Structure 1
Amino acid sequence: MADNRKGRYARLSIARKQLCLDEDAYRDRLERETGKRSAKDMTIAEMDKVLAGFKRDGFRPSPPKGKPTSSRPEVRKVFALWKELAPCLRSGGSRESLRAFVKRMVGVDDPNFLSGAQAGVVIEALKAWGERVEGQKS
């Protein structure tokens, strides 16, 4: 397995931001978990230990980029349209807000469980919403 220290540094940084830790609290946490105040001084196993601790405290890493969220094209279209709208949304286009939108539209709790017809309804609603947003920008 590759060393991948850069990826772990990035995940530690993301976890720090997600958990709202200031610099001192972050360094204290590293020291409490591993005895070292810097991630650069840690082994891979020590970084993994710190990440596991952050996960216990609520850190939720995002899914890997580039992987399709579904094998079904209509569901991927829903995610793509939602992502396009994200900058215009108060929620920032979070997964939770997409689930709530889908639930309001067709009564399904998760976009991954949409039938073809339900996905079509959601897609058309998202397209219409996108057109309204574009119209407001002009």
Structure 2
Amino acid sequence: MVATTTLAKIHIAKKQLAMDDDAYRAMLQSVGGVSSSKDLTALGAAKVLRHLEKCGFKPLAHVGRRPTPTADRKPLVGKIEALLAEAKRPWAYADSMASRMFKVDKLDWCTPDQLWRIAAALQKDANRHGR
């Protein structure tokens, strides 16, 4: 199974390179051997990311310190990371959301339920802005 953050990077690259769905699926088939990114193996995902970088994808540098989540919070933090990267926002943005929404100073200190709510708010913002 491929990590959520890896799949998010692939989708961010697709958007950054302005690939239409047909071109994206053709690339997945030729490079990764699958028609959907959810079917990629870890090796296939790595090949797809290398190919996208050769095509001009430039992964965004993370601004700020990434939280170190426990196992139960890792998928939520990965989703938040992907949404922040897509919106070109720093980790401090998520910290300020935690502060505003829950009166918690750092994303590190949020409960899984609070992380889920932050991810949902970021997803609503992405939908609103067409990301």
TM-score with structure 1 length normalisation? 0.45
Looking at CA atoms only, which structure, 1 or 2, has the larger radius of gyration?
1
TM-score with structure 2 length normalisation? 0.47
